[in-house]
Structures are given as structure tokens and as C-alpha cells.
Amino acid sequence: MKKVLFATTALIATAGMAAAEVSMSGYGRFGLDYNSANDTVVGRSETNITSRLRLQFDMSTEADNGVGFNARYRAQAESRDGVAGTGAFNGARFGVTYGGLAVNVGNIIGAVENAPGLYVTGARSAGTGIDGMGFHSLVIKSRTGTAWNWDAYSSAGAGSNGIEALYSTGGFTGHISYSQRNGGLVAGTAGGEDRTGIMLTYSFSDYYVTAAAQSSSVAANDITFVAAGGDFGAFGARLAYGSTDAADSVTLQGSMDIGAASNLAVWVNSTDVSGVVTAADTADGTAFGINYQYDLGGGATFVAGYVDEADDDNQFQAGVYFSF
């Protein structure tokens, strides 16, 4: 009986696969992490292991009229700064596509998050080092560091549970997104928030210009972002500006290919916190970072990075990143 049930299940699964595509991908990263700020936490070492394993599942099918349907789901486990490792499944994202138009619901990408030039261009972590080291290069700041106050796809949480539309044609890409967080039993009550985001990008040859903004029912989460960048043979450059109620910030990044397998990226960020600046405003000032990558082949990359933060704390990481 068990064999009959197993065979029946296998046939059902095969029939489903014939009508749709299911793929699994992901990456692993692990390395040594030094963070001088850890000496302020009792019982925490300045030097630790940082690691992450991510599995991503993508599912898609297409109706007879050419309309596509898709979904994305992730499982992730990680550990950093000596904190016990955690594992989680995230909220799913569902999408419908037709031609150059895509509409997503659930754990959406987010219009600001999707803007080119927001993160360190070309870096495997999208920041500096193995795990981004706090992403101090980002120009959307709170008074104490990167704000993280915009809608973005969450790898370990429910996400924004919003709706968004993306359209691309030629060198133009447009993206609008909307999400609502309910603070109580009634939508929009205390603790809730509505966010509307927009992003416009035009790419030409190896260059791009982009602008993005988020309007929120919480004034502190209003965002303006603009960036421009491009590649010049073996060299690349990016200039980005971000503004919030808390701070104005600018980042300049340059990168260079070294031979066929290595890349070096250097960035400097200057942030001006609004109003009277106190010792608690640790984002105010200048930060810089260096990221080095060497392609080991087979989807594996050696990564090393250094960050000097605006408050003079510093971080160093070195390790391996491999994708599958």
C-alpha cells in the first residue's frame, strides 16, 4: 500500500512539473568578522564568525494567453557578531507578468530598494565584506546609521505585504509600490503606516541615471534618492544622494577590475545630521570602505573588506561566498 501511495504521489508531482517550472538556487557565505563596536557589549568578543546559508525557491507558469504567474520563497539561516545563529522562512511574493509589465503582491521588492546605485555596485554582499558590515555606504540615513525605513523584500520575515507594478521598455524602467501596516484592529490606527514609493531609471549603453522617493504617513520615513553611475572599461563610478528628515547623505564609489578575476571597490560617504548634533548622532561625519573580491571559479569568490565608520568604529571581514 505504501508503494502504491508513493507511486501515485510521484505521478501527481510529475504532472504538476510538466505545467510549471520550479527551480532552487541560493548561496552560502562564511568568514572572519572583526567589529570594534563589540567591545561595548558585555560578554561579546570583537572577533567572531559570520555566516549565512540561503535557499531560494522560484515557481512559474504561463497561461495560454501569454500571462505569466510566479512566486518566490526563501529559507535562510545566519549568525553574526557572536550572536547565536537563527533560521527562518520568509513571506512569499506572488507575481503576474505580461510583456514588459510585472505586478507583485505580498513580500514585494519595493520601489526605493530596486533603485540602481543604492548599494555597492558589483559587491557580492551588496555592501562591504562578507555580510555588508552595516551597509554604511547607503545614503538613506537615520541619526545613528542606515535607516532601513523603506519597503524591501525580506529574506527572513513577512516583508511589506504590499503591491507593486514594474514596467520596462528599451532603456526605461518604472516602479511604483504601496504597502500598509495596520497598527491595531482597524486599518490605519495608531502604530500603522502607509508607504508609497516610486522609482524611475533610464539606462543607456553602460550608464544609468535613477531617482526614487517614498512618501509615508510617518513623516520620518519620507525618502528622496538620486544616483548616477556607469562603467568605463575596467573602471566604474557611482554618485548617490539621499535625504530623510534625519539626515542628508552623499556617497561616491569607484571600482576597478584587476586582471581577469579580481575587483576592487572603494567608497566614501559624507552624512550631515539635521539640527543640533550630539554624541548620540553616530551617523554624522565621514565613513569609508574598501571591498576586494577574487573569483575562485565555480561560483565561489574570496571576499575581504574594511569599513571605517563615521563614529570611528571600524570593521574588517574576510571569507568565502559561493552560489549554487
Digit-coded pLDDT (tens) for 119-178: 999 999 999 999 999 999 999 999 999 999 999 999 989 998 999 999 999 999 999 999
Q: Is 110 left (phi over 0), alpha (psi -120 to 50) or beta?
A: left
Q: Which helix (H) or strand (E) holds 2?
A: helix 2-19
Residue 80 pLDDT = 84
Residue 13 pLDDT = 42
Digit-coded pLDDT (tens) for 155-170: 989 998 999 999 999 9
Q: Which helix (H) or strand (E) holds 9?
A: helix 2-19
Q: Is 5 left (phi over 0), alpha (psi -120 to 50) or beta?
A: alpha
DSSP helix/strand/coil, 289:
strand
DSSP helix/strand/coil, 171:
coil
Please state, as a whole number, how many other Cβ atoms lie within 10 Å of the Cβ of residue 316. 18
Residue 297 pLDDT = 97
Residue 20 pLDDT = 84
Helices (H) and strands (E) in the chain, counts: 1, 17
Domains and CATH numbers, the chain: 21-323 (2.40.160.10)
Q: Which residues contact 112 (CB under 8 A, 6 or more apart)?
A: 118, 140, 150, 151, 152, 197, 199, 212, 213, 214, 223, 225
Q: Which residues of the chain have pLDDT under 50?
A: 1-18
